[in-house]
Structure 1
Amino acid sequence: MLPPELPPLPALTRAEGEVIDRYLEVVDLLGRINPARGHDTYGALRAAQALVGRATALRDALAVMYERGETEVHAGTLERALRVLDGQRRTSLIALPPEPEGRPG
C-alpha cells in the first residue's frame, strides 16, 4: 500500500526554494544538537560543525533573494511549503520534549 500523496508544493521562486531548503537543513542540525533530545556528544559535535556551513548557505540564499529584489517574505506561501516538507515535525525537534506524565514541573 502506498503512503498518502502529499499536497503539491506551492509555487516558489528559485531563491525562495533555496531559502526553504537551507532553513530546513539548519533546523535538522539544530535538532541533532538539542541536548534535551541528544544521544551522544559526537553526533551533536558533528552537527554543530556542519551548522556553520549550513548557516552560511542560508545567509547566502537570503542575500541572493534580497539582491534579486525579493524583499518581501510571503509567509503564507513559505509556511505551506514548510508544512509539505515536514517542517512542523522537523522544527519540533528543536524544542524541549514534553514533560513526562506525573513528573512535577
Structure 2
Amino acid sequence: MLPSPFPPLPALTRAEAEFIDRYLEAVDQLGRINPARGGDTYGALRAAQALVSHATALREALKLMHERGESEIHAETLTRALRLLDGERRAGRVAVPPAPSD
C-alpha cells in the first residue's frame, strides 16, 4: 500500500467535520461572488444563490454541534483541519487583493 500524499486530518467529531465542510463551501461561494476578483454577473448570481443553501447547511451543522453538547469550538484543531483542506487559499479569495505597488 502506498503512503498517503496528504497528512491525516486531526481527529474531529462528525459534527466538527460537517462544520468545517459546510464552512469551506460557504467560503468558496463568497470567493466566487467577490467583486474585487472580477468575473461575470451570472456566475456571481449563481454563487449568491448557492450561498443561501450553504449558509443554511452551515447553520444546521453548528446547531447539531450545540445539540450534541459540543459547546466549544476547538480553534487549534479546526485550524489544522482548515489548513489541510486548503482553507487559507480558499478564504483568501474572499479578501480584497492588495493594492498594486507604484
Q: TM-score, normalised by structure 2?
A: 0.94
Distance of 1:95 and 1:83 partners within structure 2: 17
Q: CA deviation at 1:101?
A: 2.1
Q: CA deviation at 1:8?
A: 1.0
- Structure 1 outlier segments of 4+, above 6 Å: none
2:55 is matched with which residue? Answer: 55
1:24 is matched with which residue? Answer: 24
Does the Cα contact within 8 Å between 1:38 and 1:44 map onto a contact in 2?
Answer: no
Distance of 2:68 and 2:100 partners within structure 1: 48
Distance of 2:60 and 2:87 partners within structure 1: 21
- Ranges in structure 2 where 5+ consecutive residues have no aligned partner: none
Identical pairs, percent:
72
- Ranges in structure 1 where 5+ consecutive residues have no aligned partner: none
Distance of 2:73 and 2:21 partners within structure 1: 15
Q: Deviations over 1:57-81 (max 9, x none)?
A: 0000000000000011110000000
Q: CA deviation at 1:38?
A: 2.4
AA aligned opposite 2:36: A
